Amino acid sequence: MNVKHFIEDKLLIFEITEEIDHHNSERIRKRADYEIQRFMPKKVIFDFKKVNFMDSAGIGLIIGRYKTTNDFGGNLELINVNSKLKRVFEMSGILKIIPIVEKSSDEKAV
């Protein structure tokens, strides 16, 4: 996972570079929580451009980071979500609280 932080915009972008399953989600969670607590961003973006698979552990990962970000007064968005992952998000109901955006207005050149 690559992490980009933009101080002037209080923006934190997580570029996930692997599958999100039970084995990887714990490591991703720890790193994301550390970075969110470290920078306390106003917006957190999870970029799924390089993710082809996600199981229920990924849903838990995203919901947990939504809560953590919300606790710091921030918002969370999802970008570059392929159709297969979008179906997983739709079935889970996560899209009722976390938006998928085509291109975030705050997103830097990623």
Torsion angle defined by CA atoms of residues 94, 97, 98 and 99, in that order, rounded to the nearest 10 degrees? 110
Rounded Cα distance between 77 and 48, Å, is 11
Token pair of 56 as six digits:
């229920």
Q: Domain coordinates of the chain in residue numbers? A: 2-101
Task: State which fold the 2-101 domain adopts.
Answer: Transcription Regulator spoIIAA (3.30.750)
Half-sphere exposure of 13 (CA within 13 A, CB side): 21
Token pair of 21 as six digits:
């399953």
β-bridge mates for residue 76, sequence order: 44
Which run of H or E residues covers position 6?
strand 2-6
Written as tens digits, the pLDDT of the chain (110 aa) is 899 999 888 999 999 999 999 989 999 999 999 999 999 999 999 999 999 999 999 999 999 999 999 998 999 999 999 999 999 999 999 999 999 998 645 545 44
